[in-house]
Amino acid sequence: MKESIRSRYEARAKILKAMAHPSRLLIIEELQKKERCVNELTAMVGADTSTVSKHLSVLRNAGLVIDEKRANCIYYTLRCTCILDFIGCVEDVLAAKAEDHKKIMKSCKK
Amino acid sequence: MKESIRSRYEARAKILKAMAHPSRLLIIEELQKKERCVNELTAMVGADTSTVSKHLSVLRNAGLVIDEKRANCIYYTLRCTCILDFIGCVEDVLAAKAEDHKKIMKSCKK
DNA sequence: TTCTTATTTGGCCATATAGCCAAATAGAAA
DNA sequence: TTTCTATTTGGCTATATGGCCAAATAAGAA
């Protein structure tokens, strides 16, 4: 694989990797609804503040969210809402998987 | 976070995680064009056969690809082509990031 | 100033991952 | 049968990740 090609795939992988965590997916979905500060997100995720803060920094580094200081909180916003579209596709994969599973169970019964 | 909600996010995260690797993204893109056997993919990725085989098993476990034995090869196929749509979104994120970077560089020059 | 409150960072540990090599497996060809 | 080819699996090491706690930082409120 050529170097230039590889680095393009690496850039993409970095973004997917940033999304590939249950807590971060929750955060992404919440931020799509409205901006939130770390405190609020921490309550939603139900983990240590430091843990959530690190998750947010992963999302920020990947360019998925933006943070803005206002009043005495730091508000996080989702940057590209198209992100949510692709959750739909992920659901399709899950559905296809479930369908297969059903088929396998069926053929076992025979 | 409720248990039922968490497990849904975990299922999604598993799929994203499976995609979040440069070599696997390359494989996904190649498989979108046409089915390929391990050998061919190994050449494209440029890694050890065993490494590529493990990447394929990650994709298979996530339900992203299907394998079918035919002649003396095992052919892999992409299961949901919608996967590709969302690469477009990832590119948007990258573009937005690049744009920001430009702005920062500009403001530094002042 | 000191006391809160909000957030990030550092340290530590446990776990997961990617990579390679070597070995196992399966099937086709000789 | 042996041999070759395709693929997977096991073993190993190095590296990265997620989680918590504790400490640092920043900014407002008292």
pLDDT in tens, B67-98: 999 988 999 999 887 777 777 778 888 888 77
Which residue type is seen at B27?
I
Q: Residue A63: which region, alpha, beta or left (left: phi > 0; alpha: psi -120 to 50)?
A: left
Residue B110: which pLDDT band, with cuts at 50, 70 and 90?
very low
Using a CB-CB cut-off of 8 Å, the residues of chain B touching A86 are: 85-86, 89
> ∠ CA(A16), CA(A22), CA(A27), 5° rounding?
85
Interface residue A95 vs chain B (CB under 8 A): no
**Cross-chain CB nearest to B79 (options A25, A82, A96):** A96
Token reading at A62: 């990947």
Mean pLDDT of A84-99: 79
Q: Are B59 and B65 in contact (CB under 8 A)?
A: yes
Q: Are A76 and A66 in contact (CB under 8 A)?
A: yes
Mean pLDDT of A9-26: 95
Cα dist from B35 to B3, B30, B51, whole Å: 38, 8, 19
Residue B1: which pLDDT band, with cuts at 50, 70 and 90?
low
Average pLDDT over chain B, rounded to whole? 88
Q: Is the pLDDT of residue B64 over 50?
A: yes
**Cross-chain CB nearest to B80 (options A64, A93, A100):** A93
Using a CB-CB cut-off of 8 Å, the residues of chain A touching B45 are: 1
Token reading at B21: 């690797």
Mean pLDDT of A29-48: 95
Architecture (CATH level 2) of domain A3-79: Orthogonal Bundle (1.10)
